[in-house]
Amino acid sequence: MSAPASTLNKESKIVRKFEKGKIIEINVDNLIHNIGVIRSRLSEGVKIFPVLKSNAYGHDITTISQHIEGFVDGWCVANLEEAEKLWKISKKPILIMKGTLTDEEDKEAVSRGFWVVVRDEQDLNSKIKKGVGNLFLKVDTGMGRLGVLPDKLKKVLESIKKNGAGQLFRGVMSHFAYSDLQDRDFVNYQFRVFSDFASEFEKAMEKRLLRTLSNSAASLSFKDAHFDFIRPGIAIYGISPFGKDKTFDLKPVLTVKTKVIAIKSIPKDWSVGYSRKFIAKEEVKIAILDVGYSSGIPRSWWEKGYVYAGVRKLKIVGLISMDMMAVLIDNVDLSVGDEVIILGDVDGITAYDIASSVGSIPYEILCSFGLRS
Q: Which residues are catalytic?
A: 53, 274
CB contact at 8 A, 64 and 52: yes
Residue 158: CB partners within 8 Å, gap ≥ 6? none
CB contact at 8 A, 253 and 237: yes
The neighbouring-strand residues paired with 265 are: 285
Backbone torsions φ then ψ of 137, nearest 5 degrees: -75, 125
Residue 193: CB partners within 8 Å, gap ≥ 6? 139, 141, 142, 150, 174
How far apart CA 188 and CA 194 sit, in angstroms, is: 10
Burial status of residue 196 (CB atoms within 10 A of its CB: 0-12, 13-18, 19 or more) = middle
| Cβ density class 342-373: b for 16+ within 10 Å, e for less | bbbbbeebbbbbbbbbbebbbbbbbbbbbbbe
How far apart CA 95 and CA 271 sit, in angstroms, is: 52
How far apart CA 51 and CA 59 sit, in angstroms, is: 12
Among 372, 351, 362, 356, smallest CA distance to 294 is for 372
In the chain, the amino acid numbered 180 is: D
